[in-house]
Structure 1
Amino acid sequence: MEKLEGKVAFVTGAGSGIGLGIAQALAAAGVKVMLCDIDEAALGAAVDGLAATNADVAGVRADVSLKDELRAAADETIERFGKVHIVVNNAGVGGGGEYGEWTDASWDWTIGVNLMSVVWGIEIFGPLIESHGEGGHIVSTASIAGLMAAVGPSYNVTKYGVVALSEGLRPQLALRGIGVSVLCPGFIRTQIMDSRRALPDRYGEIEEMNEEDAASEFVQVARAAIENGIDPRYVGELVREGIEGDWPYIFTDTEFEPVIAERFANITAGFDRIRDRTPER
């Protein structure tokens, strides 16, 4: 999509962080944006801030882990703007315990927000993009943890899933005039470490990080890295450029490139071990 001005975008998790940065960058490019978030206060502030710049924006509150609410948000987007060209499945949470500590509720929450909302976002919005015949683009936010298992089990699983879903759908949707990109950010200044602030009541009590884990060197380093991370607005500009250029992968920096390269080297080594063997059939 080389020309974004006048197009319509729907962005989840747009009340703050990466989602807001993307909404800001798209609005600055002349895109009409429907911001979606579970946090009504943050959503209202984000919409008001963008509207003050004369951007054509609106907001809709939705818990994207509930398919019916996401579908209702799509209906409201069409009612407000008439059509949609760009969908950014960005909402995400960091949650879930480590091995021996996780619960069904924490898996359900993390999978619902991080993975199923992406599946449903594509299922719901894909046909809406196809319907007007003008083409479009879908961006789904994974994480650098979608290419290296470096965080918690449920987070890793969902982010790997978003990468796999995006890679698999990219050639299929290209035939339908829809570009597909997966965003794999590193350390960005967001509230991901405080995801429980938006935990729906229906999940009940989800395991909290114990004091020992919260005080661990890994958690403290991660929290500091995020607090001093990349500006979300910069990420938004990368996403805008990625949509315009139809990038398959959108990275935010090269910090973890050596780790990912080592992973692929280990995969190659696995093939090397059996390269000269002839399997029985």
Structure 2
Amino acid sequence: MQHLEGKVAFVTGAGSGIGLGIAQALAAAGVKVMLCDIEQAALDRAVEGLAATNADVAGVRADVSLKEELQKAADETIARFGKVHILVNNAGVGGGAEYGKWTDASWNWTIGVNLMSVVWGIEVFGPLIESHGEGGQIVSTASIAGLIAATGPSYNVTKYGVVALSEGLRVDLASRGIGVSVLCPGFIRTQIMDSRRNVPTRFGELEQQNEGDGAAEFVQLAREAIENGIDPRYVGELVREGIEGDWPYIFTDLQFEPLINERFANITAGFDRIRDRVPQR
């Protein structure tokens, strides 16, 4: 999508962090943006701030882990803007403990927000993008943890899932005029370490987060890295450029490139171990 001015975007998790950075960058490019977030106060501030720049924006509160709320948000987007060209599945949470300490509640919450909201977002908005025949783009936020299993199990699983979904759908949707990109950010200045502030009560009791023992050192290092991380607005500009260029993968920095290369080297080594044993056909 080389010409973004006048297009319409729907962005989840847009009240702060990466989602807000993407909304800001798209609005600055002349895109009409429907911001979506579960946190009403943050959403209101984000919409007010963008509207003050004369951007054509609106907001809708939704719990993206509920398919019916995403559908209502889509209905409001069409009612407000008439159509949608860009879907940004950005909402995400950092949840779940290590092996032996996790709970059903934390798995259900993390999968619901990080993975199923992406599945449902594409299911709900994909046909809307197709319907006008003007083409469009789907961007889904995974993580570097979608390429290397570097954090908690549930977070890794959901982010790998987003990468796999995006890679597969990129091929399927190209013929329908829809580009698909996956965003794999590193450490960005967001509130992801405080995701539990928005846990819906229906998920039940999550395991206690104790930063004083066990994984405390990792948690503290991650918190410090995020607090000193990349500006979300910079990430938003990368996403805007990625949409314009239909990038398959959108990265934010080079910090984890060696670890990803090491992973692929290990995969190649696995094939090398059996190379001389494969039966001839």
TM-score range, shorter chain: over 0.9
Unaligned runs of 5+ in 1: none
After superposition, the Cα gap between the structure-2 partners of 1:74 and 1:118, relative to the gap in structure 1 and judged at 3 Å, is: same
Question: How big is the shift at 1:128?
Answer: 0.2
C-alpha separation between the residues in 2 aligned to 1:144 and 1:244? 22
Q: Which residue of 1 aligns with 2:85?
A: 85
Question: How big is the shift at 1:214?
Answer: 7.5
C-alpha separation between the residues in 2 aligned to 1:230 and 1:214? 28
Q: Which residue of 1 aligns with 2:245?
A: 245
Q: Which residue of 1 aligns with 2:119?
A: 119
After superposition, the Cα gap between the structure-2 partners of 1:213 and 1:82, relative to the gap in structure 1 and judged at 3 Å, is: farther
C-alpha separation between the residues in 1 aligned to 2:198 and 2:248? 30
Q: Which residue of 2 aligns with 1:95?
A: 95
Question: Which letter does structure 1 place at the counterpart of 2:158?
Answer: T
Q: Which residue of 1 aligns with 2:271?
A: 271
Question: How big is the shift at 1:215?
Answer: 7.2
Question: How big is the shift at 1:280?
Answer: 8.6
Question: How big is the shift at 1:58?
Answer: 0.1
Contact 1:213 1:219 in 2 (8 A): no
C-alpha separation between the residues in 2 aligned to 1:212 and 1:279? 54
Contact 2:8 2:84 in 1 (8 A): yes
Q: Which residue of 2 aligns with 1:227?
A: 227
Please give the TM-score of this superposition, normalised by the length of structure 1.
Answer: 0.98
| Per-residue Cα deviation, 1:220-253 (whole angstroms, up to 9, x for no partner) | 1111000000000000000000000000000000
Q: Once structures 1 and 2 are overlaid, which stretch shifts more, 154-163 or 209-218?
A: 209-218
Question: Which letter does structure 2 place at the counterpart of 1:129?
Answer: I
> Is 1:255 the counterpart of 2:255 in the alignment?
yes
After superposition, the Cα gap between the structure-2 partners of 1:89 and 1:214, relative to the gap in structure 1 and judged at 3 Å, is: farther
Q: Which residue of 2 aligns with 1:209?
A: 209
| Per-residue Cα deviation, 1:119-138 (whole angstroms, up to 9, x for no partner) | 00000000000000000000
3-state secondary structure, aligned to 1:88: strand
> Is 1:183 the counterpart of 2:183 in the alignment?
yes
Contact 2:95 2:155 in 1 (8 A): yes
Q: Which residue of 1 aligns with 2:5?
A: 5
Please give the TM-score of this superposition, normalised by the length of structure 2.
Answer: 0.98
3-state secondary structure, aligned to 2:75: helix
3-state secondary structure, aligned to 1:53: coil
Alignment of 1:100-111 (within 5 A): 100-111=100-111
Q: Once structures 1 and 2 are overlaid, which stretch shifts more, 218-227 or 247-256?
A: 218-227
Question: Which letter does structure 2 place at the counterpart of 1:3?
Answer: H
